Chains A and B, each alone.
Chain A
Amino acid sequence: RKEVEQDPGPFNVPEGATVAFNCTYSNSASQSFFWYRQDCRKEPKLLMSVYSSGNEDGRFTAQLNRASQYISLLIRDSKLSDSATYLCVVNPMNRDDKIIFGKGTRLHILP
């Protein structure tokens, strides 16, 4: 099983719709999880951290399911500007010395 696995997509979603995608991770000891956003040929930017209790930031909600070893990202009322690649990121050893990226899920918001 890959360390971090995501559906590559693309997800083509009409503007205003709700979209969700998951990411699975292999190391059950992982403690830190993040969603990053990457625009085409740009650097990854932190979208949100994922807490055990789940967290919400505006239209974005992140959840963690430890039993099934996945995290999810839900985007409500999607905007054209949400079009990007969403990277699932895990700190597998809970150390400060590296984070592991999934390959990303491409999201296209359609007008």
Chain B
Amino acid sequence: EPEVTQTPSHQVTQMGQEVILRCVPISNHLYFYWYRQILGQKVEFLVSFYNNEISEKSEIFDDQFSVERPDGSNFTLKIRSTKLEDSAMYFCASSDDYGYTFGSGTRLTVV
């Protein structure tokens, strides 16, 4: 069964540093997403990406965040100048007409 792959599974970074979270969506999917889940809280939408540009973004997705599809397979989320409150699980997802598939997530810990 096709899957969405995320790396790394766990990232620890110092406050103020930049991190890049990587995702390989399912190859024939056209929409890509980043969601985050702070421990004990709900899954929150960050951004969607279609046709090589951002389709929609939430209030959370401010100038600190950016997304890129640098090649035909990878989809990245960059977080600049990380803050303690950025600590969360970050889920990548991709979708087709049949639904969404989520990756297993990257646990980001900002210390």
Contact of B48 among A43, A87, A98 (CB under 8 A): A98
Whole-angstrom distance between the Cβ of B111 and the nearest chain A Cβ: 19
Whole-angstrom distance between the Cβ of A21 and the nearest chain B Cβ: 15
Main secondary structure of the interface of B (DSSP, over half): strand
Interface residue ranges, B against A (CB under 8 Å)? 30-31, 33, 35, 41-45, 48, 50, 55-56, 89, 91, 95, 99-105, 107
Whole-angstrom distance between the Cβ of A99 and the nearest chain B Cβ: 6
Counting chain A residues whose Cβ lies within 8 A of the other chain, the interface size class is 20 to 34
Residue of chain A at shortest CB distance from B33:
A98
Q: Is the CB of A99 within 8 A of B45?
A: yes
Whole-angstrom distance between the Cβ of B66 and the nearest chain A Cβ: 17
Interface residue ranges, A against B (CB under 8 Å)? 34, 38, 41-46, 49, 87, 95-104
CA distance A38 to B100 in the complex (A): 14
Q: Which residues of B contact A96 (CB under 8 A)?
A: 30-31, 48, 50, 55, 95
